[in-house]
């Protein structure tokens, strides 16, 4: 689906144009065209390839999707793949894909499997004509910055979730649900990590060393994106390490709870063993057992058993086993 197709000159919007008129504006030296597609069809990609002279391999990657975040050069054209991470209606992470083709006088963004609109990026860029004068390179920066900025709320939510789990670590009986929750959180962190780390490595190509010509005028802005990705990546590493520690603590709590249960069982077994020992002795029914003939032998035996069990209970209670 074609979202919009706009021509710009000297940082200002000229007009919304038809796809058939793209070639006329692309030929102008001081003009560039910004086209946005959503879930593009094969025919739309073929049309854009013809209009902008896109490389076959880049178009094929965009058509098939599910690419690793990357920045590739095809002559004077850049092909950038980014992953958009979104929270859906049931609080699960959904990964979309944003493919951007950038040339000297054009930008083509293709958004796939993503619900987040990029219209705000265009509005922001048009409000800053002095920056939009940098051309297609600045548009690429604006798109990358928008995708990266949407990682921050997700990370903040995961940090808050982890803090909530840590507050419950020492609650009795909460170890198992905590571990399940931590593993779920760790899986979501890795989803964001897989989107951030490759993009961070690729973004370094846009501001350090030999920078592609189309990005030369926006080098400092791409460095800002790289810094954001670096900070996000460090936060994700910290969260992952904290989760690992929290899982170990929860496993230790499970072991402690099992040990306490074992001690209680052993304590009660010891108490009943005393009673069983006395009952076993007086239950042997030997002929010459004088205490069996005593008038008060039965209540005395019960009293002795109760006293011995009571002493055992008192002692084990002081030891913390009961």
Q: What is the pLDDT of residues 269-278, one digit of tens each?
A: 887 888 888 7
**How far is the C-alpha of 109 from the C-alpha of 147, rounded, in Å?**
12
**pLDDT at residue 298, as a whole number:** 75
**pLDDT at residue 237, as a whole number:** 93
**pLDDT at residue 89, as a whole number:** 59
Report yes or no: 97 and 113 within 8 Å, Cβ to Cβ: yes
**pLDDT at residue 152, as a whole number:** 92
pLDDT < 50: residue spans in the chain: none
CATH topology for 257-319? Methane Monooxygenase Hydroxylase; Chain G, domain 1 (1.20.58)
Chain Cα centroid distance, residue 130: 36
**How far is the C-alpha of 266 from the C-alpha of 272, rounded, in Å?**
10
Strand 106-112 with 77-87, pairing: unpaired
CATH superfamily of this structure's domain 1-135: CorA soluble domain-like (3.30.460.20)
**pLDDT at residue 286, as a whole number:** 67
Domain boundaries, the chain: 1-135, 257-319
Do 1-135 and 257-319 have matching folds? no
């Amino acid at each position: 689906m074609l979202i919009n197709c706009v021509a710009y000159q000297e940082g200002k919007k000229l007009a919304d144009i038809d796809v058939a008129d793209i070639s006329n504006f692309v030929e102008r030296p001081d003009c560039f065209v910004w086209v946005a597609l959503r879930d593009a069809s094969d025919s739309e990609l073929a049309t854009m390839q013809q209009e902008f002279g896109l490389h076959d391999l880049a178009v094929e990657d965009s058509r098939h999707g599910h690419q690793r975040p990357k920045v590739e050069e095809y002559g004077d054209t850049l092909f950038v793949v980014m992953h958009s991470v979104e929270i859906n209606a049931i609080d699960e992470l959904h990964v979309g894909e944003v493919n951007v083709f950038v040339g000297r006088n054009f930008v083509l963004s293709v958004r796939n499997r993503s619900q987040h609109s990029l219209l705000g990026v265009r509005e922001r860029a048009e409000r800053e004509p002095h920056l939009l004068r940098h051309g297609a390179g600045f548009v690429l920066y604006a798109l990358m910055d928008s995708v990266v900025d949407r990682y921050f709320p997700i990370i903040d939510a995961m940090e808050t979730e982890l803090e909530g789990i840590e507050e419950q670590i020492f609650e009795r009986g909460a170890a198992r649900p905590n571990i399940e929750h931590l593993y779920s959180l760790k899986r979501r962190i890795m989803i964001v990590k897989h989107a951030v780390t490759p993009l961070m490595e690729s973004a370094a190509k846009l501001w350090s060393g030999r920078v592609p010509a189309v990005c030369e005028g926006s080098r400092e802005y791409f460095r800002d994106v790289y810094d954001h990705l670096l900070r996000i990546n460090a936060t994700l590493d910290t969260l992952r390490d904290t989760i690992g520690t929290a899982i170990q603590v929860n496993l230790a709590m499970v072991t402690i709870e099992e040990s306490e249960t074992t001690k209680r069982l052993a304590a009660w077994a010891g108490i009943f063993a005393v009673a069983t020992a006395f009952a076993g002795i007086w239950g042997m029914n030997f002929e010459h057992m004088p205490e069996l003939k005593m008038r008060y032998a039965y209540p005395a035996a019960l009293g002795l058993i109760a006293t011995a069990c009571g002493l055992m209970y008192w002692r084990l209670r002081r030891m913390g086993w009961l």
